[in-house]
Amino acid sequence: MRIFVKPLLVLPLLLNAITFVNAQVPGTSLAMTPPMGWNSWNVWGCNIDAQKIRDAADRLVATGLAAKGYNYVVIDDCWQGERDAQGELQPNAKFGDMKALADYVHSKGLKIGIYSSPGPRTCQGYLGSQGYEQQDADTFARWGMDFLKYDKCSYKGDDYTAYKIMADAVKKTGRPMLLSACNYGKQKVWQWAAELGYAMWRTTGDIENSWEQMKSNGFSQSKLAEYAGPGHWNDPDMLIVGHLEGRNGRTRPTKLTQVEQYTHISLWALLASPLFIGADLTKLDQFTLDILSHDEVLAINQDPLGQQARRVYQIRRDDIQVWLRPLSDGTYAVGIFNLSDEDRTGPDSLEFNLKTLGFQGDITVRDVWKNQTLNAPKLRLQIPAHGSVLMRVTGTLQPK
């Protein structure tokens, strides 16, 4: 039988197809909200093995963090062995069967990620993917990887080209993998990584376990806000809470004070940053678990509008900063940060009128961590040195 299709019927179909292509999410539909999970680097460095990855998966589930959305378990550098006669990259003896490891992580309802470099060597001197991109992408897909962190390290040259080769290779495998670009914010990565299919890209150098480094990574992000959105996120690097730095066997607690940890998590929530825990999850204390699991804070980080906060106000250069993030329900997340070394408490408490930001009419304010209503619009806040208040503000905003 001859099927006759009228041209007028075909046209809308064609238009639909074109709209579909145009409507594709920049970055990837795998990350409509900022990706969350655990990564081995900040805690184990090269001191990793398959058992530590399994432990992390077990603990994500047992602590309830997986249920809160932390669902990627990412193996960072140092898992690699040599290439075999066919050029196939092998894991080293501490990992053994990668497919079995991926199956284990999947059996916990989690996803698994792996790490490579566009250079000949990774940052720790293990084999990178240069010249073997398609073969490595195929290997990662066959093992069942769901995520690839691609770290510049020894690569010299045009980053766009190198990151495109791997993104295309991964696409060719047919396996959905969330792509994470790590080139330390070089070559304006935020301008081109999303179009290549990367869901997140590092915007800074490595976060170290220190207040200064967290502050410099996090508070430098305002100018990049326009580049983040559903499917594609700026990444000021992983979280430094919990027990870290176990490269030599013994982990140590974060060097951030509790006050600084609230600031860290509040800022990462406002920035719509990917949330990757870098801690030993077998040693998770209640405080760390609580700040990582706070529903309202996570709701800000994961807000579907996906707008990253901007710095909207500063007093005395950097001492007091106010950051604002519009949310999908029409409310605003607002963070007021005291970056100075002086407490703004007691008689020195901080007075701030939300009208300064352009809020008008009836305003209600909730302190998100404390679950308290604050007097609006005139706030009187107790903020210790390096501390912050994270608020959800309901009201009309006329930006100034």
Check binding of 303 to ligand GLA (CB under 6 A): no
Say if residues 259 and 387 touch (Cβ distance below 8 Å).
yes
Q: Which is nearer to ligand GLA, 78 or 379 (CB)?
A: 78
What is the distance between the alpha carbons of residues 238 and 244, in angstroms, rounded to a whole number? 12
Q: Which is nearer to ligand GLA, 180 or 388 (CB)?
A: 180
What is the distance between the alpha carbons of residues 202 and 224, in angstroms, rounded to a whole number? 11
Handedness of CA 373, 375, 377, 382 (dihedral sign): negative
- Quickly tell me which residue has 């058992």 as its tokens: 51
* Chosen residue from 43, 105, 110, 123 binding ligand GLA by CB under 6 A: 123
Long-range contacts, 361-368 (Cβ 8 Å, 24+): 361/395, 361/396, 362/395, 363/393, 363/394, 363/395, 364/393, 364/394, 364/395, 365/391, 365/392, 365/393, 365/394, 366/391, 366/392, 367/391, 368/294, 368/296, 368/297, 368/300, 368/333, 368/392
Closest CA to 35 of 167, 137, 181: 181
Q: Which is nearer to ligand GLA, 208 or 296 (CB)?
A: 208
What is the distance between the alpha carbons of residues 361 and 338, in angstroms, rounded to a whole number? 27
Part of the chain binding ligand GLA (CB under 6 A), chosen from 90-98, 122-130, 169-177, 348-356: 122-130
The residue annotated as part of the active site, out of 146, 151, 159, 280, is 151
Question: Which residue is closest to ligand GLA by CB?
Answer: 123
Instruction: Report in angstroms how near the CB of residue 124 gets to ligand GLA at its nearest.
Output: 4
User: Can you read off the two tokens belonging to residue 38?
Assistant: 């655990």
# residues contacting ligand GLA (CB under 6 A)? 9
The residue annotated as part of the active site, out of 168, 206, 343, 367, is 206
Say if residues 101 and 113 touch (Cβ distance below 8 Å).
no
State which of positions 139-178 bind ligand GLA (CB under 6 A). 151
State which of positions 195-254 bind ligand GLA (CB under 6 A). 206
* Chosen residue from 33, 34, 68, 77 binding ligand GLA by CB under 6 A: 77
Q: Which is nearer to ligand GLA, 76 or 133 (CB)?
A: 76
Check binding of 124 to ligand GLA (CB under 6 A): yes
Helix (H) or strand (E) holding 336: strand 332-338
User: Can you read off the two tokens belonging to residue 13?
Assistant: 């179909």
* Chosen residue from 76, 136, 260, 280 binding ligand GLA by CB under 6 A: 76
* Chosen residue from 182, 214, 224, 228 binding ligand GLA by CB under 6 A: 182
Active site residue 290: no
Say if residues 63 and 289 touch (Cβ distance below 8 Å).
yes
Part of the chain binding ligand GLA (CB under 6 A), chosen from 89-97, 121-129, 248-256, 378-386: 121-129
Q: Which is nearer to ligand GLA, 76 or 136 (CB)?
A: 76
Check binding of 55 to ligand GLA (CB under 6 A): no
Part of the chain binding ligand GLA (CB under 6 A), chosen from 116-124, 136-144, 159-167, 362-370: 116-124
Say if residues 249 and 49 touch (Cβ distance below 8 Å).
no
- Quickly tell me which residue has 């790590």 as its tokens: 182
Instruction: Report in angstroms how near the CB of residue 122 gets to ligand GLA at its nearest.
Output: 6
Active site residue 151: yes
Say if residues 171 and 198 touch (Cβ distance below 8 Å).
no
Q: How many CB atoms lie within 10 A of CB 107?
A: 9
Q: Which is nearer to ligand GLA, 202 or 386 (CB)?
A: 202
Instruction: Report in angstroms how near the CB of residue 149 gets to ligand GLA at its nearest.
Output: 7
Instruction: Report in angstroms how near the CB of residue 300 gets to ligand GLA at its nearest.
Output: 25
The catalytic site residues sit at 151, 206
List of residues contacting ligand GLA (CB under 6 A): 41, 76-77, 122-124, 151, 182, 206
